[in-house]
Amino acid sequence: MKTHIKLIILLVALAFTACEDVIDVDVPTGQTRLVIEGSLDWEKGTTGNNQTIKLSTSTPYFQTATIPIVTGASVKVTNIDTNQEFIFIDQNDGTYTISNFVPIIGNTYNLEVIHNNETYTATETLTAVSEINSVTQSLEGGFDDELLEVNVYFDDPADEDNFYLFSFYEQGDLFSTIEDLSDEFVNGNEIHNFFEKDDDDDNDQAPFQAGDIVDIQLYGISEGYYNYVRILIEQYYGGGDPFSSTAAEVRGNCINETNSDNYAYGYFRVTEVVKTSYTFE
């Protein structure tokens, strides 16, 4: 909602000879921290046995060198409901993997990472997601009636608060586009979301045309993760514009049990995800 308001205001601004340019800015450099990318995503229709957790560290904002990976840590996930332990194996490339993970909807999992003699923990519950009812394409919907968009429909369960994360990725692009959604205004209804690319002179992004393939992912996420990823998305797509809320560090759910000031970035999420692809006609 707020994103849309921002869109209007920026459009008005642009109508008044506003201009955007990339400039050099001196930014401060904060503390280097461990980054835990603990995304355990169970794709519907699979066993969910294969999972990966990534560890790295933060860098100065404008540093362009490759992200430093973290090896030699110990990574363990425990299902608190069943007491089953899952030990992740260090692949020495910053990833820690497992091939016998057992996802159970509604069960709570605990992550433990030990790195540099400090123990980080996080807790999360596996959140379910609805099936996608249909995926269509249209011209009339979306922001621009002359551009193609892909539509996704799915049912939101009534009587509960649900939170979603979408990822749309056009094959061949460098980045996917992610969006967060809560059922606050649409509880219990069939939810419709769309993804439309506009042709933007600045980055010669091509709008969709026949033959383009879009990978679509729909995650069921917890309220805690929604609060995290919502702020992260807002900051990622427009951090610092005057109509976004004051930028602030987004704190994830990973706690440093040894030294609480040396907390980690990132999040330990456990989700169910539906994945599909759509080819434009």
Partner 1 sequence: MKYILLAFCLLCSSLLIAQEKYSLRGTIKDVNNGETLLGATVFLKGTSNGAVTNEYGFFSLTAAKGNYTIIISYIGFESITQDIQLDSDQTLNFELKESATSLNEVVIVAEESEQVSIKKPQMSVSKLNAGTIKQMPAVLGEVDVIKSLQMLPGVTNNGEGSSGFNVRGGAVDQNLVLLDEAIIYNTSHFFGFFSVFNADAIKDIKLYKGDIPAKFGGRVSSVLDVRQKDGNNKNFNINGGIGLISSRLAVEGPIVKDKGSFLIAGRTSYAHLFMKASEDLKDDKISFYDLNLKANYEINKNNKVYLSGYFGRDVFNLSKIIENTYGNATANLRWNHIFNDKLFSNLSLIYSKYDYQIILDFIELDWIADIKNYNLKYDFKYYLSDKVKLEFGASGISYKLNPGEVRPTSQSSPINYLKLDQKRAFEGGLYVSAEHQITNKLTAQYGLRYSTFSRLGGQSISNYLNDQPVVYNSQLDIYERGEEISQTAYSKSESIQNFDNFEPRLGLSYQLNEASSVKASVTKSTQYLHLLSNTSSVTPLDVWTPSGKYIKPQRSTQYAIGYYKNFKDKAYALEVETYYKTIDNRIDYIDGSDLIGNNTIETEILNGEARAYGLEVLLRKNKGKFTGWLAYTLSKSEQRTLGGQAGGPGINDGNWYNTPYDRTHDISLTGMYKLNNKWSFSSNIVFQTGRPVTYPNGQYNYEGFSVATFSNRNEDRLPAYHRLDISATYTPNNKPDKRWKGEWVFGIYNLYNRKNAASITFTQNDQTGLNEATRLSIFGLIPSVSYNFKF
Q: Per CB under 8 A, which of residues 236..275 are in contact with partner 1?
A: 236-253, 255, 260, 263, 265-267
135 vs 152: CA distance, rounded Å:
5
CB 61 within 8 A of CB 122: no
Cβ proximity to partner 1, 39 vs 125, nearer residue: 39
By CB under 8 A, tell whether 188 contacts partner 1: yes
By CB under 8 A, tell whether 191 contacts partner 1: yes
Phi, psi of 161 (to 5 degrees): -85, 130
Binding mask 63-102 for partner 1 (x = CB under 8 A): xx--x-----------------------------------
By CB under 8 A, tell whether 213 contacts partner 1: no
- How distant, in Å, are the alpha carbons of 36, 110, 149, 205 from that of 202? 33, 44, 20, 8
Contact range with partner 1 by CB under 8 A, out of 29-37, 76-84, 103-111, 128-136? 29-37
Contact range with partner 1 by CB under 8 A, out of 8-16, 75-83, 85-93, 101-109? 8-16
By CB under 8 A, tell whether 172 contacts partner 1: no
The single residue among 46, 47, 189, 259 that binds partner 1, judged by CB under 8 A, is: 189
Amino acid sitting at position 231: I
The single residue among 44, 52, 57, 118 that binds partner 1, judged by CB under 8 A, is: 57
DSSP string, 152-208: EEEEPPTTS--EEEEEEEETT-S--EEEEEESTTTTTSEEEEEEE---BTTTTBPPP
By CB under 8 A, tell whether 32 contacts partner 1: yes
The single residue among 65, 106, 117, 145 that binds partner 1, judged by CB under 8 A, is: 145
Phi, psi of 158 (to 5 degrees): -75, 175
In a 3-state reduction of DSSP, which class is residue 32?
coil
